[in-house]
Homo-oligomer: A and B are copies of this chain.
Amino acid sequence: MKFARPFLSTFVNKVDAKGRVSVPARFRDILEAQGARALYARASTSGPAVVAGGLSWMEQLHAEVAAHDPSGEVHDDFAYALLGDTVELSLDGEGRVGFPEELMRHAGVEGLAAFVGMGAYFEIWEPRALEVRKAQARLATAERRGKLRLPPREGSR
């Protein structure tokens, strides 16, 4: 499998009155490079967030499902959980999408949505909740690596 350009960094955009959000331009480029002006999204199973990705990400999910015996229970579980709950959202001419009400509620998003790159995919969070999660992640990472330096705020260069 070819190495695809990863989703990186965090962007916070506004959710307008019609429920639309601009997908960050950087992310848009990656999505289109994968061959579609669309993204795929579902509720995260591990937190108040929406997990999303492009065609490649979705094909990977599909492959994961198809790899199991279609008459087996594992196949069905995967299909219900991964495909049955994933929605395809196409971008409008300006690069916006309208997330289903239910997904926004799961993430607790109201006026602002934070897009955070996770490499092969990305997530959408309520901005403050994401900050909390990130702080926790920084701590855990520093501990694991054993070199707990004081948080240098940002640029690590």
Q: Chain B residues near A64: list those with CB within 8 A.
A: 150
Q: How many chain copies?
A: 2
Nearest to A151 among chain B residues (CB) is B67
Q: Is the CB of A78 closer than 8 A to any CB of chain B?
A: yes
* Cα–Cα, bound, A85→B130 (Å): 11
Interface size class of A (residues with CB under 8 A): 35 or more
Q: Is the CB of A138 closer than 8 A to any CB of chain B?
A: yes
Q: Chain B residues near A66: list those with CB within 8 A.
A: 119-120
* B45→A82 contact, CB < 8 A: no
Binding site for B on A (CB under 8 A): 1, 3, 6-10, 26, 40, 45-46, 58-59, 62, 64-67, 71, 73-74, 76-88, 116-120, 133-134, 136-138, 140-142, 144, 150, 153-154, 156-157
